[in-house]
Amino acid sequence: MDLTQLIELYRGPLVGLIASWGAPWVDAKEIAQDSFAEAYLNRESCRGNWEQPEVFGGWLRGVARNRHRNWARSRKRRRNHITSVEPAVLEAVAAPSDVDSSPDLEKLRAAITQLPTKQRQVILMHYLEETSIKEVAILLAISNKTVEGRLYQARRTLRRMLDGKVSSSQIGRMLLCL
């Protein structure tokens, strides 16, 4: 496999996984891209046949985990050097768009951040990055049934967090709108 094929296969799931670790989407995409480059350049040090998707997926996940840790450390250091900004400037820059301002979607976003890590990972990877269950399973090194179970549990937990006003199928549709 060449780098382009690997990126096509793993981009969505990897970005979702990194975002589930707490990185904003923009940073998650950059960390994922850096992870692809590093993993591909150092593929010869991968244990096993790196050309097999299951082997390379695990290898890539480890590289991404290290990249994310480095990003988190540097972010913490940068946070100590940031100067204060006027609240009015922040509000103007961070004003939500009309498309994303639905109260239900805001509640859903808040509920997703409160999910247990394993449930949040599969929700972000499957729905937000539109990754198949099989690809999620390969990247997380778990079975397809485990992914399906975590998705079911996550939808059920989200339904409870939203006071049961929304069905599980509605939650699935709402997740696609995030």
Last residue within a domain, chosen from 44, 79, 114: 79
In a domain, 58, yes or no: yes
Question: Same domain, yes or no, for 129 and 59?
Answer: no
**One digit per residue, pLDDT tens: the chain, 178 residues?**
777 887 888 888 899 899 889 888 889 999 999 998 888 888 888 888 877 777 888 888 999 999 999 888 887 766 654 444 455 554 554 444 444 446 777 888 888 889 998 998 888 888 877 788 888 888 888 999 999 999 999 988 988 888 877 776 777 777 777 6
CATH number of the domain within which 11 lies: 1.10.1740
Backbone angles phi, psi at 101, to 5 degrees: -95, 10
Question: Same domain, yes or no, for 68 and 108?
Answer: no
Q: Domain total for the chain?
A: 2
**So what's the pLDDT on residue 97?**
46
| Confidence (pTM) | 0.52
Domain, as residue range, for 154: 97-177
| Long-range contacts from 31-34, C-beta under 8 angstroms, 24+ separation | 31/64, 31/67, 31/68, 31/71, 32/64, 34/67
Run of H or E including 160: helix 144-161
Question: Same domain, yes or no, for 158 and 124?
Answer: yes
